[in-house]
Amino acid sequence: MDLVTTPTDWSHHCTRFSASLVFKLSYGQQLDDDGKDLAALEDILATLMKDFYPGAHLVDAFPILDRLPDFLAPWRAGAKRKHLMEVGLYTRLTSEVRMRMESDIGLECFAARLWDHQEKMNITPEELAYVGGSAFTAGTDTTAGTIEWFLMAMVLYPSTMLKAQKEIDLFFSSDTVPGYSAMNDLSYCFALAKEVFRLDI
């Protein structure tokens, strides 16, 4: 619905949708659209992408600079600050999952499975939090990127979208949701999805 009301923010809508989807899979709860978690997670994603950009910091070009003391290495202080913020957020989110697991035995999410296997994997609560948060961060950005490529492709090739919609309408009504078993029936849509993944590389 957001795409209809504010189409110029389409990239933000894709990121928010994918963040909400991956948040639910990671932590077993809905991501509040206007809450502090969304803003914090978007900030983490934005700074991560900026820091990964080649040449974002002078030390990327001149690794010898990494030997400088902290007061002469502002990139290191920034990285430590960002790390503490990430770990704090991820620890709070996984701790909330742990508390909910006490009252909801059947809670299904990635963080709950990590807690179930913590001893077997021999990881600390901080490591567990970071694994869960890293999965969320990686999943959000890649999912948003794929959705953006799909939207751009459908704008450029509307006949492709119409063929895919026709195939979906042929096999499913508005009351049914296709599952993995439907891939044989949705050969055109399956090929379209694979093509979008290829575009996203």
pLDDT band at 33 (very low <50, low <70, confident <90, very high): low
pLDDT attached to residue 1:
66
The arithmetic mean of pLDDT across residues 119-134, rounded, is 91
pLDDT attached to residue 77:
86
pLDDT attached to residue 185:
87
Query: What's the pLDDT tens digit per position in 60-93?
Result: 888 898 899 988 888 888 888 888 888 899 999 9
Query: What's the pLDDT tens digit per position in 135-155?
Result: 888 888 889 899 999 999 999
pLDDT band at 37 (very low <50, low <70, confident <90, very high): confident
- CB of 27 within 8 A of CB of 132? yes
